[in-house]
Amino acid sequence: MNYEINIQNSEIFFDRELSWLDFNCRVLEEAADPSNPILERLKFLCITESNLDEFHMVRVANLRSKLSAGNDGRSLNGMRFSEIIQAVSSKVNEFIHKQYEIYTNSILPELKSNKINLIEDYTELTESEIELIKKYYKEEVSSILTPLSIDPAHPFPHILNKTLNLAITLSSQDENNKKKDIFAIVQVPSVLPRFWELPEQNGERRFFPLEGIIKLHLSDLFYGMLVKEIHAFKIIRDSDLSIAEDKVRDLLTSVKKELKNRIWGNTVKLYVHKSAHGQVKQYLQEMLDVQEHETCEIPHVLNLSDLMYFYNLNNTSKLKFPYIESRSVIQATSVTSLFHLIRKQDHLLHHPYDSFQGVEELLKASSEDPKVLAIKMTLYRTSGDSPLISYLQQAAENGKQVTVLVELKARFDEERNIIWAQKLEDSGVHVVYGIVGLKIHCKAMLIVRRESDKLRRYVHLSTGNYNSTTAKYYTDLSLLTENGEFTEAVGTLFNSLTSLAKIPRLNQLSVAPQYLKDDIINLIEKETANAQNGNEARIIMKMNSLVDPDVIIALYNASAAGVKIDLIVRGICCLVPGISGVSENIVVRSLVGRYLEHSRIYVFLNKGDWKMFLTSADCMPRNFYKRVELMFPITDKSIKEKILNVLDMILKDNVKTRILSSDGTYHKLFPREGEKVVNSQMELFNI
């Protein structure tokens, strides 16, 4: 069969939402992998739940909103939005079944074999334990609870997003001694630990869930009533911010207001315990306005993400991945020597293999160094206790010109960003709150220093966020340089962003939304032309997601021309590999392991003179059109070799790699007989 290579051909694309669900399945495989330590497996299980909740809060909510507005359009693969929602619901139900199969048959027994016991049935409790629970309930729990009965005078309460709740049916007698049924809801308080540790028995640690403690004492909350049924449930709400940015006068105020509105988003998913059959489930569906395909029955404990409680238990390090210390790349004895090292040569940092502390030390030194006159920086996400914030504050308090471009619309980090951005302002930092219509997603820092001969500028550019926490388990690459072309371009970029001027074509740097997509396609097309002219041609692209149809078409054309293409795509991939005459020269890998693959690396053979780029952008329409992104070249020969070695190691991985087939399935690689075992994420500590 001959396939036309154009966007209208739905047979050459996968749907992005279903592809994302496949990614979450690959994460779930890690939860089932017995070679991973048990608490790491539990962590992977928790991650799949958090991922799935966010997927419903944003992606499913978005599809639902389109349908409500009468828009039943089609995705790249030809499916209508209504069909995608049905397919997602079916796939999610299968996925949840697998989650709980792994939880019940694998994770719980292994936790128990390691003397960690989750007691879900109160009949397993001893009398002394029940007395202790009663004491804990009276002293710590009871005063926090608010029982909410529902009748004509008390309407169905507002249920908070992702909270665990108990749906309760009660029987009572009215003044005429007639029995009547009452429905009530109790929210399981999130301010208390989800699991309460009982006294140790023979070296065994035992834990009882908070909702179980509440269930044992419901008669205290509903005195004089008979408790007939108790069923746990949780809901997921539409939580995507919706701001008409072209009409707002104050972006900060608008984001704050929209954050308050987020709690009122429509319900997009209802999870109920499987015991809540019949009238209770139907009543919840009716009150929350969800349909049957948007409801999922859960066989065991709800809110699997709360199981992270056990990951953080003390004295459990032997049940986790062994600690590996990151390397210190730049070892300077003084502030002067630190900048001298950067002047001497470019430095590549590969996190988490190289410590993020080097970036923090550079900013700390700059905040204290009297020769540093100015610091400019973008901040998309950072950790809650990030020392970077205090260093920026200190720099401003020391009289330096400090400018920080803060992205208020960093999804689910909006409140945190607002808080620390206002702290920066209080210290005298010039804070620019994003740009109307765009997210500032590029990662850049510029330091201006007066030295003996002249003003010098130093630049840090990265594929990942300025976040010391995620830098410990996200793989990212960053560059420290004093290269004049780079520093000039980054300085122009900052001035363009703060002045709201048009961003010019920059030497060495490619910026979205103006130029990045066209530049990437041009690079692919040049490699295609090289193949057509009889030259060896190769492309290696590593990213989180591949969605943009124009980039995919360019890759198809390159493959058809004979370019050998290796794609390392962790998450969503809408490109279909292995189609004869279209993508038979394309191999798509997904690497899921201990670290979250986050670096974006785009490499082109270029007739043997490798062109190599690092970027903050995935190949997605949102990155190309709705964000300020940055792609920068690697020019240093030794750094090029290092990155090629990194990519080569990833391409040799036969432990954590999955290969995408043309039917949309992923197949995990295993070492062949006699073949060297290569877990690239571990091997890269030696590069």
- β-strand pairing of 347-351 with 596-597: unpaired
Q: Mind giving me the DSSP string for 582-620?
A: TTTTEEEEEE-SSSEE--EEEEE-GGGS-EEEEES--BS
The sign of the dihedral angle between the CA atoms of 172, 175, 179, 180 is: negative
Distances (CA, A) of 452 to 447, 455, 518: 16, 8, 41
Q: Mind giving me the DSSP string for 429-463?
A: -EEEE-BTTBEE--EEEEEEEE-SSSEEEEEEEES
Distances (CA, A) of 162 to 99, 173, 297, 659: 18, 34, 15, 34
Task: Kindly state the tokens that stand for 319.
Answer: 């049940």
Alpha-carbon distance 466 to 622, whole Å? 21
Which one, of 321, 294, 348, 361, lies nearest residue 92 by Cα?
A: 294
Sequence-distant (≥ 6) Cβ neighbours of residue 102 within 8 angstroms: 28, 31, 32, 45
For residue 322, cis peptide bond before it (omega within 30 degrees of 0): no
Which one, of 161, 195, 165, 181, lies nearest residue 268 by Cα?
A: 161
Which of helix, strand or coil describes residue 497? helix
The sign of the dihedral angle between the CA atoms of 497, 433, 260, 49 is: positive
**Residue whose token pair is 């432990």:** 655
Neighbours of 641 (CB within 10 A): 11
63 burial (CB, 10 Å; 0-12 / 13-18 / 19+) is buried
Which one, of 165, 23, 13, 16, lies nearest residue 95 by Cα?
A: 23
Is 566:540 a contact under the CB 8 Å cutoff? yes
Burial readout 218-247 (b: 16 or more C-beta within 10 A, e: otherwise): beebbeebeeebbbbbbbbbbbbbebeeee
The sign of the dihedral angle between the CA atoms of 89, 92, 98, 103 is: negative
Which one, of 674, 533, 500, 511, lies nearest residue 606 by Cα?
A: 533
Which of helix, strand or coil describes residue 237? strand
**Residue whose token pair is 């043997």:** 608
Task: Kindly state the tokens that stand for 31.
Answer: 């939860």
Distances (CA, A) of 148 to 184, 217, 222, 578: 5, 15, 10, 57
Which one, of 598, 563, 588, lies nearest residue 681 by Cα?
A: 598
CA geometry: angle at 631 spanning 627 and 637, to 5°? 165
Alpha-carbon distance 435 to 427, whole Å? 22
399 burial (CB, 10 Å; 0-12 / 13-18 / 19+) is exposed
Active-site residue 441, yes or no? yes
Annotated catalytic residue, options 441, 460, 598, 667: 441
Alpha-carbon distance 503 to 513, whole Å? 9
Alpha-carbon distance 482 to 446, whole Å? 10
For residue 513, cis peptide bond before it (omega within 30 degrees of 0): yes
Task: Kindly state the tokens that stand for 423.
Answer: 């702290």
The residue type of 482 is E
As annotated, the active-site residues are 441
